[in-house]
């Protein structure tokens, strides 16, 4: 993590030069030239092999502690590309992964739809078989890097068998009939809608097997879910660091804020919860790397880490006072950034459902 944090300290100027809501291509290039993208797109002979979940967690926490924009750009490259890396044919992998790993193009993970968020098994984007491939018709929403990505890992319905009737495809952003628009969010990440109007994709673009796209999605999400917790941890740690520095120097009623037990004990509780969350994240990542069943562990890690990070930022703002809510303050920035991880890649309520189901098996 030390090397990641060293790199992260050099990235804020590149991040700040980007346009909110659009892919920052200079930032992608910087992540590639720093060697961080090589950590998740590891060369193995003529091809690539997946990274470890632990490495992913360490990098995401280190980046988030110093530059959330760099962390998000890094994570979106991995999340969008891993269905291709894990399940794409040799020709599809060769076409896209080298360019994604080099930071030359952006990639998106296109799962969510306007009426299918947490219940992703109810996807409605239709993929109709035609000669030589499929035609996709429908809409996606809240898609990372849309509408600027060069390629999307798209999940569409190929039969009426619920989650067992979904197929994954690698769809170029330039495909005929594919259009997109930006969605303005609380955090200025590149996110948008995609509209598929009879978009043709060849059979060679299928990731994995027909009707087995849900397995591709879950393999990707199971790997990335602990690292969402790591992202949250980085933000929570940054908030705690800021709160400790502020309360050590800020004077009130003739003494530093740190000497008020009502202040210092809040920070002690935050530090304890962050450490516990980090142990959960690392435990889930180690279990994934060990090949065991990790759904409930990943759910625990994401749930506890994201909820803890929200609390850490809130406490840090409280001990700072109104100055922390000024536009441009670190904590104002973190306050906007920390909210989304409790929703995406499975909301906190979904994580609790996963954990509860595991208890009753």
- Comparing CA positions, the residue from 139, 151, 133, 129 lying closest to residue 204 is 133
- What letter does residue 69 receive in the DSSP assignment? H
Q: Which residues pair with 192 in a beta bridge?
A: 143, 182
Q: Which of 16, 345, 349, 353 is catalytic?
A: 345
The helix, strand and coil proportions of the chain, stated in percent and rounded to the nearest 5, come to: 55, 20, 25
Where does residue 101 rank: exposed (0-12), middle (13-18), buried (19+ CB within 10 A)? Answer: buried
Q: Is the dihedral of CA 143, 354, 119, 158 positive or negative?
A: positive
Q: How far apart are CA 258 and CA 243, in angstroms?
A: 10
Structure tokens at 127: 């993929």
Angle between helices 53-66 and 213-249 (to 10 degrees): 40
With tokens 């690392």, the residue in question is 282
Structure tokens at 27: 């930032």
Q: Are 36 and 74 in contact (CB under 8 A)?
A: yes
The reply to whether 184 belongs to the active site is: no
C-alpha distances in Å from residue 123, one per residue of 39, 207, 310? 32, 17, 30
Q: How far apart are CA 254 and CA 74, in angstroms?
A: 45
In degrees, rounded to 5, the angle at the alpha carbon of residue 119 between the alpha carbons of residues 180 and 178 is: 15
Which residues carry out catalysis?
A: 345
């Amino acid at each position: 993590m030390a090397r990641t944090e060293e790199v992260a300290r050099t990235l804020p100027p590149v991040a700040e030069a980007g346009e909110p809501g659009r892919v920052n291509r200079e930032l992608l290039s910087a992540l590639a030239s720093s060697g961080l993208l090589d950590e998740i797109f590891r060369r193995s002979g003529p091809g690539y092999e997946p990274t470890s979940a632990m490495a992913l967690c360490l990098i995401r926490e280190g980046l988030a502690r110093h530059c959330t924009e760099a962390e998000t750009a890094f994570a979106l490259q991995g999340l969008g590309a891993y269905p291709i890396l894990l399940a794409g044919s040799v020709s599809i992998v060769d076409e896209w992964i080298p360019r994604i790993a080099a930071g030359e193009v952006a990639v998106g993970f296109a799962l969510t739809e306007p009426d299918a968020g947490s219940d992703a098994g109810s996807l409605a984007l239709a993929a109709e078989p035609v000669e030589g491939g499929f035609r996709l018709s429908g809409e996606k929403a809240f898609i990372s890097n849309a509408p600027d990505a060069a390629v999307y890992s798209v999940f569409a319905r190929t039969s009426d068998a619920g989650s067992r009737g979904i197929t994954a495809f690698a769809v170029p952003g330039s495909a005929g009939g594919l259009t997109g628009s930006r969605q303005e969010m609380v955090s200025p990440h590149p996110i948008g809608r995609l509209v598929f109007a009879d978009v043709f994709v060849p059979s060679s673009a299928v990731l994995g097997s027909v009707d087995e796209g849900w397995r591709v999605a879950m393999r990707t999400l199971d790997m990335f879910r602990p690292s969402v917790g790591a992202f949250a941890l980085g933000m929570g740690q940054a908030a705690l660091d800021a709160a400790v520095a502020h309360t050590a120097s800020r004077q009130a009623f003739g003494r530093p804020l740190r000497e008020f037990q009502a202040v210092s004990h809040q920070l002690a509780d935050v530090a304890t919860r962050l450490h516990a969350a980090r142990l959960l994240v690392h435990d889930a990542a180690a279990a994934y790397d060990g090949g065991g069943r990790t759904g409930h562990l990943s759910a625990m890690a994401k749930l506890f880490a994201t909820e803890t990070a929200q609390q850490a930022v809130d406490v840090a703002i409280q001990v700072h006072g109104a100055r922390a809510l000024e536009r441009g303050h670190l904590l104002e920035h973190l306050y906007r950034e920390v909210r989304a991880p409790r929703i995406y890649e499975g909301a906190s309520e979904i994580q609790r459902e996963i954990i509860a189901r595991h208890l009753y098996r």
